Amino acid sequence: MKIIVTGCAGFIGYHLTKKYLEKNIKVIGIDNLNDYYSVKLKKDRLKDLYNHPKSKNFFFNKVSLENFNQLKKIFLKHKVSIVVNLAAQAGVRNSIIKPIDYVKSNLVGFSNIIILSKEFNIKHFVYASTSSVYGNSNKTKLSEFNSVDHPIQFYAATKRSNELIAHSYSSLFNIPTTGLRFFTVYGPWGRPDMALFKFTDKIIKRKPIEIYNYGNHSRDFTYIDDVTNAIFLITKKKFILKKKKKFYNNDPSESNCPFRILNVGNNKPVNLKKYIEILENSLEIKAIKKYKSLQKGDVPKTNASLLKIKKLYKYLPKTKIENGVKNFIKWYKEYYKI
């Protein structure tokens, strides 16, 4: 089996590629190594993949998803059966400042990769969506059955657009597509723009950490190994569509075509103050805290319903937040030689 993983030098893409290599699966990696955050970190992830015992099964291509012709050459060269599209311009707050970057990567790039997946008869197109599509929902648990028609950031709007584009291609061309709504993924090799990385860096350096919404946020933090396990389970199993007599008008995550959307979370939200306390205990350093009001585009609470992914794939997150944070700190100290 050959699988394309776009964004293979990114946080989730790197870990997923590594998991596939461990399972002796050939990975065609695609990444443009953009400078949204440290290019060195991305290159070091790639270096780690090249040093993997089964690196002979890894084929890297430095290509942007906006470059349709270069992408097509990769599809022509490698006969792949599955595409996992994790390449995207990330960052909720950055999308307010630089929206055009999100149009190029998340809309043009996404369209290119799904068009080619159709052209080359891909058996399963899996792609990253986000919990941000739920917007400022007042639901206790965020379910795929909920309406997601009111995104409050441009980033979320582009990701919701991905879901709609995927549905149109599933409907028109019968391509099995699965969209994954990730909930605050964290762990070793994580992104420097995310809270755990920023907090750890500043606490170690004895610099103040900025705590928005006065620490009243709560997040469904999902450890990276649980996320890659979910993707592996989904891509290992054949997409099975149970035909319904009526179109799922009341369920935006299913259809009569081979289209599906799944939450990938932990289902155990943690208050931000508690999260910082866990981090302080692991580092054995007290944070210097600077409390701030709610930022534009921020959502106060996320909590994933996992009923659907558990039923379909027997997905069960295993990593406790305390262990996940410790694993990240261990990696951080080793990587930065602290």
Question: What is the pLDDT confidence band of residue 178, given thresholds at 50, 70 and 90?
Answer: very high
Query: Among the options 155, 275, 315, 332, which is catalytic?
Result: 155
Q: How high is the mean pLDDT of the chain?
A: 93
Residue with tokens 């990240």: 328
Query: What is the model's pLDDT at position 166?
Result: 98
Question: What is the pLDDT confidence band of residue 125, given thresholds at 50, 70 and 90?
Answer: very high
Query: What is the model's pLDDT at position 136?
Result: 82
Q: What is the three-state SS of the chain?
A: CEEEEECCCCHHHHHHHHHHHHCCCEEEEEECCCCCCCHHHHHHHHHHHHCCCCHHHEEEEECCCCCHHHHHHHHHHCCCCEEEECCCCCCCCHHHHCHHHHHHHHHHHHHHHHHHHHHCCCCEEEEEEEHHHHCCCCCCCECCCCCCCCCCCHHHHHHHHHHHHHHHHHHHHCCCEEEEEECCEECCCCCCCCHHHHHHHHHHCCCEEEEHHHHCCEECCEEHHHHHHHHHHHHHCCCCCCCCCCCCCCCCCECCCCEEEEEECCCCCEEHHHHHHHHHHHHCCCCEEEECCCCCCCCCECCECCHHHHHHHCCCCCCCHHHHHHHHHHHHHHHCCC
Query: What is the model's pLDDT at position 294?
Result: 77
Residue with tokens 């995927």: 166
Decide if pLDDT at 262 tops 60. yes
87-119 pLDDT tens trace: 988 877 777 788 898 999 999 999 999 999 999
Domain ranges of the chain: 2-190+221-266+302-319
Domain 2-190+221-266+302-319: state its class.
alpha beta
Is 186 marked active-site?
no
Q: Residues 219-228: what's their mean pLDDT? A: 97
Q: pLDDT: is 280 or 93 the higher one?
A: 280
Question: What is the pLDDT confidence band of residue 297, given thresholds at 50, 70 and 90?
Answer: low
CA separation (Å) from 29 to 59, 60, 225, 231?
6, 5, 19, 16
- Using left for φ > 0, alpha for ψ between -120 and 50, and beta otherwise, residue 178 falls in beta
CB–CB of 184/134 below 8 Å?
no
How far does the chain reach from its first CA to its final CA, in angstroms?
A: 40
- The structure's pTM equals 0.95
